[in-house]
Structure 1
Amino acid sequence: MATGQHWTDREIALTVADYMKMLTLELAGQSYNKTAHRRALLEQLDGRSKGAVELKHQNISAVLRDLNCFWIPGYKPRGNYQEALAHYLEAWINTHPEFDRASQFAVEQPAFMPSGIELSKLLVDAPTPSNEVKETHPTYAVKRSPSKRDYVAQEARNSALGAAGELLVMEYEEFRLRSAGKKALADRIEHVSQSQGDGLGYDILSYEISGKERFLEVKTTAFAKETPFYASRNEVSFSEEFQEQFHLYRLFEFRKSPKLFSLPGAIGNHCSMDPVSFICKLR
């Protein structure tokens, strides 16, 4: 079969099953070999290329994103997926309760301030905006409502993870300012969510090199760089009112190898936001 032809039901089912086996291991904190999995999968498909399988993996990540589940880091979500893919993926989830158990385990795990982080390498570029066209499937409805859980929301409620992320950002900001020779400013950084409460619209008061105040809201995930996050109405409003000083600091892959990117200005400038839940998906 030529790689440009339509994926058969058999190929979709095989690819979904293999991806979800890897993801379940990922959620459980167990090791696996992506290359070995891909090699074994390719032997079962009808002449598909590595690139075609990579794209299908990205499509699966996009379906999982749309179900508010996590996905395998490195397989950036890519939309325009077949409706059949969403059906097969949901059917797999409904018949494999171990995935829900692994997801539940992953979001409830405590987290602590990591040690030995090379702070000079913590900051990375933010994800580039996606140009994908979002497909809608008016006849497709999620059918796993009895067991469906919003794992992104549950992780957002993991207070230990959030607190650990804020402490790492405090350490990073002190490093950033001290490295610029601004020890006096570094000494003035305040963890306002702890000292004044968490209703201010930001977590940490830091400073620019010039001495101008920098308001930091920290969002932490143990998962992929593009994982959606929740913002409160107050955080969104504050980011709009103080656009020139507000930064959303997004920590990702926190438990394995923490990295950080910054989204300056209003949160809505970088994300599409659900008007009811305020879940933010990077554009």
Structure 2
Amino acid sequence: MAGAWTDEQNDAIVADYFAMLADDVAGRPYNKAERNRAVQASTGRTRGSIEYKNRNISAVLKGLGEEWIAGYRPAFNFQSSLEVAVARWLDRNPEWLARTTRAAAISLGSGYGEPPPLWIGPPPTHSNAPPPEELEQMVVIARKYDVGARDARNRALGRAGEERVLAHERSTLLAAGRTDLARQIRWVSDVDGDGAGYDIRSFEPDGRERLIEVKTTNGWERTPFHITRNELAIAEAYRDDWLLVRLWNFARDPRAFELRPPLEAHVSLMATSYQASFL
């Protein structure tokens, strides 16, 4: 069968992809060839077209700041109807975006002991890592579905990310022999609530403060994130102490990088909302 995929065909392959992705994330074995044959039977499409369509779905998910199946490398030449089909599946399955099972398993309260060391690398700026050719396509998808706002609304994800950074800060100070400072770390957003302009008050081994704002996503390192006017103001007021820790790929293999003020040197800031007052 040739020609554009119908909505029914897109829905069928997207549902199958997410079934494989659920197994992939959980570490359960699955047979790609067997699943391909099942999709062939339900859609009438060829094996090769189904393989490439799965790569297209990976590309859409990357743009949405979500996980994808590593065995299906993102391919960005896809029809807009596929993007709509993926969004439609996510709307029908809200529990997918709300899941935090893997995140909870590495949190301090999980009973699994201390989490492994947090990988912290360079930020994905132009000087450190030139953007991929498909970045513009991913930015369009991210803006259309406002993935930054989605992550910001996911309180469980945000809390798990803060807890992960809290553990990292504590272990770093303990390894440096600064037990005294490790005991003084304060989870500000948990104890005092939001509004301070940072989530964690920690320390450098020499005693200098680290005022840490944590932003967490399950997506890749360039997934957009939201930052408040207050957080920007605090970053400017405490330039020497404030930093943003960006956690990404959180559900599978948490990685991070740090951004220090001025943030405009690292990211493009775009106003996404306005306060409306009556005249």
TM-score under structure 1 normalisation?
A: 0.65
Matched, 1:210 2:206: yes
Residue in 2 that maps onto 1:86: 80
Distance in 1 of aligned mates of 2:189 and 2:179: 22
3-state SS of 2:244 partner: strand
Q: Which runs of 5+ in 2 are unaligned?
A: 275-279
Residue in 1 that maps onto 2:60: 60
Kindly tell me: are residues 272 and 225 of structure 1, through their superposed partners in 2, closer, same or farther at Cα, counting changes over 3 Å? Answer: same
3-state SS of 2:185 partner: coil
Tell me which amino acid in the other structure corresponds to 2:92: R
Residue in 2 that maps onto 1:100: 91
Tell me which amino acid in the other structure corresponds to 1:61: L
Distance in 1 of aligned mates of 2:72 and 2:271: 25
3-state SS of 2:268 partner: strand
Matched, 1:132 2:133: yes
Distance in 1 of aligned mates of 2:73 and 2:236: 28
3-state SS of 1:9 partner: coil
Distance in 1 of aligned mates of 2:26 and 2:116: 29
3-state SS of 1:177 partner: helix
3-state SS of 1:202 partner: coil
3-state SS of 1:263 partner: strand
Kindly tell me: are residues 87 and 271 of structure 1, through their superposed partners in 2, closer, same or farther at Cα, counting changes over 3 Å? Answer: farther
Q: Deviations over 1:104-133 (max 9, x none)?
A: 223445775344265443224356442436
Residue in 1 that maps onto 2:228: 232
Q: Deviations over 1:215-240 (max 9, x none)?
A: 1112234x223343221121123234
Matched, 1:21 2:11: no
Percent of residue pairs bearing the same amino acid type = 26
Give 1:1-283 correspondences, 5 Å limit: 9-10=4-5, 18-19=13-14, 21-23=16-18, 26=21, 36=32, 40=36, 45=46, 56-64=56-64, 70-72=66-68, 74=70, 81-82=76-77, 85-90=79-84, 92-93=85-86, 98-102=89-93, 104-109=94-99, 112=104, 113=107, 114-116=110-112, 119-125=115-121, 128=124, 129=129, 130-132=131-133, 135=136, 152-221=148-217, 223-226=218-221, 227-254=223-250, 256-257=251-252, 259-266=254-261, 267-277=263-273
Kindly tell me: are residues 36 and 170 of structure 1, through their superposed partners in 2, closer, same or farther at Cα, counting changes over 3 Å? Answer: same
Q: Which runs of 5+ in 1 are unaligned?
A: 1-6, 142-147, 279-283
Distance in 1 of aligned mates of 2:13 and 2:258: 34
Aligned length: 250
Report how far residue 189 of structure 1 moved: 1.1
3-state SS of 1:132 partner: coil
TM-score under structure 2 normalisation?
A: 0.65
Q: Which of the pair is proportionally richer in helix? A: 2
Quick check: 2:64–2:147 contact (8 Å CA) kept in 1?
no
Distance in 1 of aligned mates of 2:81 and 2:249: 28
Kindly tell me: are residues 131 and 275 of structure 1, through their superposed partners in 2, closer, same or farther at Cα, counting changes over 3 Å? Answer: same
Report how far residue 31 of structure 1 moved: 6.9
Quick check: 1:107–1:151 contact (8 Å CA) kept in 2?
no
Kindly tell me: are residues 88 and 220 of structure 1, through their superposed partners in 2, closer, same or farther at Cα, counting changes over 3 Å? Answer: closer
Report how far residue 177 of structure 1 moved: 0.4
Distance in 2 of aligned mates of 1:191 and 1:171: 11
Distance in 2 of aligned mates of 1:8 and 1:33: 33
Report how far residue 199 of structure 1 moved: 1.1
Report how far residue 151 of structure 1 moved: 6.2
Question: What's the C-alpha RMSD, in Å, of the aligned pairs?
Answer: 4.5
Q: Deviations over 1:61-119 (max 9, x none)?
A: 35545xxxx4526489979x45x6223331x257x5x53131x2234457753442654
Distance in 1 of aligned mates of 2:63 and 2:29: 22
